[in-house]
Amino acid sequence: MFDVYFGPRIDADGTHGPSKESLSLVARLRGNVVHTYHLPMARVIMDVDSVAGLSANFVDGVQSAVRTVGAQVTVHFEASGVKSGDVAYLAWIGAKDFRYHSDFVSCWIPDESIPWLREHRTFTRVDVDSVVCTNSSK
């Protein structure tokens, strides 16, 4: 099982998930998509020899399926920097394992919370292991 990072993208309709073409490629390589993230990535089950055929920025092996699917992210904020209320909001939507910096916070966040994160007033972008997902509303 793998988490596949397909690269930065936002569809014209504001969709942030993996493209239909990326998901079709997984199927053509006889893989099975078990979860699509609210980011340009998916959790897939496929033969390790087929992974090289994916058009992906990179792929991480996953030990087993888990009920709560999430991602290690870096959340960037407006120029005013990270405020205590921003961190409290992140914790409220389920983020944990915080590492603080002047204008961003690194943390683990449940995938189902990512749309809430995109609605936060000071959010500017979220990076997932070098994949940049900008906030399309700004």
Each residue of 37-73: pLDDT tens digit?
888 888 999 999 998 898 787 787 877 665 557 888 8
Kindly state whether residues 91 and 57 are assigned to the same domain.
no
CA atoms of 12 and 4, how far apart (whole Å): 22
Kindly state whether residues 39 and 78 are assigned to the same domain. Answer: no
Residues whose CB falls within 8 Å of the CB of residue 15, separated by 6 or more in sequence, listed in order: none
Q: Are residues 53 and 93 in the same domain?
A: no
My answer on whether 80 and 108 are in the same domain is yes
The torsion region of residue 33 among left (phi > 0), alpha (psi -120 to 50) and beta comes to beta
- The answer to whether 5 touches 57, Cβ cutoff 8 Å, is yes
Domain that holds residue 21: 2-61
Q: Which of 61, 83, 104 is the last residue of a domain?
A: 61
Residues 54 and 76 in one domain: no
pLDDT category of residue 133 using cuts at 50, 70 and 90: very low
What is the rounded average pLDDT of the residues 27-43? Answer: 90
Indicate whether 93 and 53 sit together in one domain.
no
The count of domains in the chain is: 2
Q: Are residues 75 and 127 in the same domain?
A: yes
Question: Looking at residue 105, what is its pLDDT?
Answer: 85
